[in-house]
Each structure stands twice: as structure tokens, then as C-alpha cells.
Amino acid sequence: MPPLRSDLLEKLIGSETKAELLMYFHDNPDTTDTVEGIAAKIRRSPKEIERDVSDLVELGLLQEVRVISFSKDRDQELQKEISQRLVSAGSFEETSTSANRDLTGVAMIDSLLPDGYPSSSVVLVMGDPATGKTTLLIQLVAEALKKGRNVVYSALDDFPDSIRDSMKLMGINPRDYEVEGRRKLVFIDCYSFLVGVKSQEQYSEDPQRLSDLSIVVTKALSEARDSGNVLLAMDSLTTLIQRSGVRPSFDFLHTLIAKIRSNRASCVTSLSRKAFHPAIIAAIQDKVDGVIEMKVEDTKDGLARFIRVSKMKGAQHITTWTPYNRDTSMGLIIPYEESRVKKSV
């Protein structure tokens, strides 16, 4: 996969204001307005956005005549260019034989990673709404616990008790892994702060205070005796960015990834593909080791779901879209053929 041009990304999201402009025009592509009008809509002063608007005009993404308008054609061209750079050229990517690899225990994912995945990786689960991103993330966590791994779960989108209930549907009792003295599962409750409820967990933090959250994550990770056998799960990166801003969240993610790699631990986090401009999505994908993509399409037979591994450093991976289904009774992501067999029985 050819490296992303850092100058292109810098021109697109080199500042928080640029990120806000991209998100505004992506949500309102037919907008035509003055610099003053645009500044008022994103709650910035005209002076704050003047230089960033000029950069986007130079790039061809905005067209300046007498007013500022969004170039949807150029936006599509940039999206296509970014997508081509992010997806591997073939069905398999060459892999280093020195990398330690393991199976996830999730049949759907293991079928897309024929030789396993690198045991020390930062993986992004990305997809459209209703594809089951959280379900897959919890399933990966449940399988990691079964394998004896330590798990730190940073919950931003739901209460820890709701996540525990989902784990029970998948066949494990999380409380068995939270026994004092031999604890394998630790929650960092960020969701309670967001909804104004007092947390009952040992670790909790306001996700808008990223420096404090970073400290709490470090403390939780340090609980594990074997730092190389830890999985950090964060659901979701979408909420973190929306609450804290693009640039601060990127800095937090950069620090977090450095911690994970220095400890030879692993991390899996989720992101809604439609929440941000593709340039922001691309910058996040560029930072991580692996990307699992999920999408849903409306067909004549109803909704069809597809999954692929578009990126996985150090491991062979299948990049073609593969159909899958969800077992709603157990909250599982399962291969399409397996779901057909279950229905026919």
C-alpha cells in the first residue's frame, strides 16, 4: 500500500478549523456563502478561518468567486484518491514471517485472516450504522478473555453493565473475570460522565479531559502482570472525537498507540464511517495497524451485510467484501453460510 501523502492530509486537516470546515461542507455540500457567513455557522471568527479557507481553495476543494462554495466533484475525487491509497492492491498482502500471529477466536474474522493476526496490533473496526461494530468489538473481547488475556474496556457509548449483559449473551460471565486478586477484566466508565450519572466502576473519567483519560488508561493497563497479554478495547472513537475535537483526539490517539506498542499490548476501537469527512477517516486509518470494515446494503431481499479486512500490517488478509449475518439471540457476528445453515435446521 503506497504511503499517504502527509502534505495532502496536512492541507485537509492541518488544524481544528480545517476539520470543522470539512465536516460542515460535507454535511452541507450545497452551501454557498461568504467567509463571514461560514464563520458564523461554525462559530468561529472570519479571521480564524480565512487562511484555512484559502488553503482549501488552493486545493480545489472550495471554489471562491464572490462567495465560498463546496466542490462536490473535487470532494469525490479526493475521496477516491484516499480510498485507493488505503486499500491493499490485491486479495492478500505480503507478510513478515517474524511477526507473532494468533487467531481471534471469532470465526468471521479468522476466515479473513488466514494465518492469524499480529498479536501486538492497533485495530480499527469501522462501519456504517447498524452493521454491528460494537457487537464485533465485544465478541473480540469475549474471545480474548476465554484465551486468558487481560482486557481493559473503555466504555464511551454505553454503561459497563450493558456491556456485561452483551458478554453473557455470548456465553461468558464477565463477573468471573473481575474477581479481586485474579482480575482479568477492567472497565473504564466514560459513559456515566456523558449522561450525568455517578459511576460505580473503579475507573471512570470524563472523555473530554483527554490528558486525565490517558492517565487512567495507563493505570488500568498497569494492573496486568503481563503487559504484553493485554487487550485495550475502546468503544467508540466516534464519541471521543465528537466530544473532544479532531486535533486533540488525534494527539490522544497518537499517545495511546505509542503506549500500546511500547507495552507490546493490543488495542481494538470502533468508528462510524459516516460521522466524519473521509479525510479525517483516512488520517485515523493511516495511524492504526489494521482496519476491519463493515457495511450494509439495501437489496431486493432485504438488508445485506458485508465485511472485509482492508488493512492489516504483518499479516495476510482478504480485502474483498464478504457477506455476514448477525445472530440476534446471541449478539454474534457469524459467517453468512453458517447463518444459512442455522436457518435451515
User: Whole-angstrom Cα distance, residue 43 to residue 160?
Assistant: 35
Q: Where in the chain are the domains?
A: 6-83, 93-344
Query: Is residue 115 pLDDT above 90, yes or no?
Result: no
Query: Is residue 88 pLDDT above 70, yes or no?
Result: no
Q: What is the pLDDT of residues 272-284, one digit of tens each?
A: 988 898 889 989 9
Q: Is the peptide bond before 98 cis (omega within 30 degrees of 0)?
A: no
Residue 42 binned pLDDT confidence (cut-offs 50, 70, 90): very high
Averaged pLDDT for residues 331-345? 59
Residue 343 binned pLDDT confidence (cut-offs 50, 70, 90): very low
154 or 13, which is more confident: 154
Query: Is residue 215 pLDDT above 90, yes or no?
Result: yes
Averaged pLDDT for residues 238-256? 93
Averaged pLDDT for residues 323-338? 76
Q: Are 332 and 135 in contact (CB under 8 A)?
A: yes
Write out the E strands in 39-197.
62-64, 68-70, 101-102, 117-118, 122-127, 150-155, 185-189
pLDDT of amino acid 223: 82
User: Whole-angstrom Cα distance, residue 220 to residue 187?
Assistant: 8
CATH of 6-83, one of 1.10.10.10, 3.40.50.1100, 3.30.360.10, 1.10.760.10: 1.10.10.10
Fold held by 93-344: Rossmann fold (3.40.50)
Highest mean pLDDT among 28-37, 154-163, 179-188, 325-334: 154-163
Residue 32 binned pLDDT confidence (cut-offs 50, 70, 90): confident
Mapped onto helix, strand or coil, the DSSP state of residue 291 is strand
User: Whole-angstrom Cα distance, residue 307 to residue 127?
Assistant: 9
Element at 217 (helix H, strand E):
helix 210-222
pTM higher than the cut 0.85: no
Q: Measuring CA to CA, how many Å separate 309 from each of 83, 94, 120, 212?
A: 14, 14, 17, 33
- Kindly write down the DSSP assignment for every residue of 91-134, as one continuous string: SS----TTS-EE--S-HHHHTTSTT-EESS-EEEEEE-TTS-HH
Percent of the chain predicted with pLDDT > 90: 55
- Of 40-49, 88-97, 176-185, 324-333, least confident by mean pLDDT is 88-97
pLDDT of amino acid 116: 86
pLDDT of amino acid 130: 84
